[in-house]
């Protein structure tokens, strides 16, 4: 089987595989030519396999399917590293769990503040204190 590339270019950005398991990948996405060493965002997703005209291979989610057909998230901003790592760990441990959707909901509440503002998470407090509305 053909494995995911460790580095490739897409939409003018450089994707570099930072870590992976057999089923989950984390890519750092580096900026444009003007800032080639800056990580603009981090993508974490479940690796899919296909058997098509190109053979049996691993694929990354397409832009239109990112986060819609299987769990995937892109993290950007000041706290991208602190948010991406726990999501990677969650997917790595529970990628085939029937309760994965519920676990992702709990992750979103704890690390992103989605659906439950003010949970007392120190990361969320720091984000609130540094974000101007």
Each residue's pLDDT tens digit, 62-73: 888 887 767 889
Give me the chain's average pLDDT, please: 83
Q: Tell me: the pLDDT tens digits for 29-42?
A: 998 666 778 899 99
Q: What is the largest CA-CA distance in the chain?
A: 51
DSSP secondary structure, 77-122, as one string: STTHHHHHHHHHHHHHHHTT-TTHHHHHHHHIIIII-TT-TT---H
The model carries a pTM of 0.80
């Amino acid at each position: 089987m053909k494995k995911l590339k460790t580095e490739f270019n897409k939409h003018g950005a450089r994707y570099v595989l930072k870590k992976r398991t057999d089923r989950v990948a984390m890519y750092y996405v580096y900026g444009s030519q003007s800032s080639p060493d800056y990580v603009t965002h981090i993508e974490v997703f479940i690796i899919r396999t296909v058997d098509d005209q190109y053979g049996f291979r691993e694929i990354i989610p397409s832009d239109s399917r990112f986060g819609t057909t299987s769990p995937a998230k892109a993290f950007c901003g000041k706290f991208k590293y602190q948010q991406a790592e726990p999501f990677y760990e969650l997917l790595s441990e529970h990628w085939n769990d029937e309760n994965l959707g519920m676990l992702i909901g709990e992750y979103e509440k704890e690390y992103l503040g989605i659906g439950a503002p003010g949970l007392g998470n120190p990361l969320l407090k720091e984000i609130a204190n540094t974000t101007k509305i």
